[in-house]
Amino acid sequence: MAHEIRHYPGFGHPRDLAPGWDVLDVWAHTQPELDALIAAAERKFWRVWYRRVQLKHEAVLYKPSGATTPWTPPPEDLAEGA
């Protein structure tokens, strides 16, 4: 399993960099590998902001800084289909 994960604590919301949000960038070589990494992150309360395929499979996830319980995305995130 070859992948790369970068955690950016306090980076800001991926939409507008509003404070109070952590961001996680995940890259994998295959779609099943990316799916497994996303599933593991979601168990730790991360939510997918977007995913795409270029040379590698990539996803950006986000959560409130320090979140250790389930949370609900802000309404504007849901309106954007995130």
Q: Which residues contact 54 (CB under 8 A, 6 or more apart)?
A: none
* Distance, first Cα to last Cα, the chain: 27
Q: What is the pTM of this model?
A: 0.85
- In this model, does residue 16 exceed pLDDT 70? yes
As a whole number, the mean pLDDT across the chain is 90
Tokens linked to 79 = 């309106």
Domain boundaries defined on the chain = 3-79
pLDDT band, residue 82 (cuts 50/70/90): very low
- In this model, does residue 42 exceed pLDDT 60? yes
- The confidence score (pLDDT) of residue 23 equals 97
Return the amino acid letter for 43.
R
Pairing between β-strand 47-53 and β-strand 57-64 as defined by DSSP bridges: antiparallel
- In this model, does residue 44 exceed pLDDT 50? yes
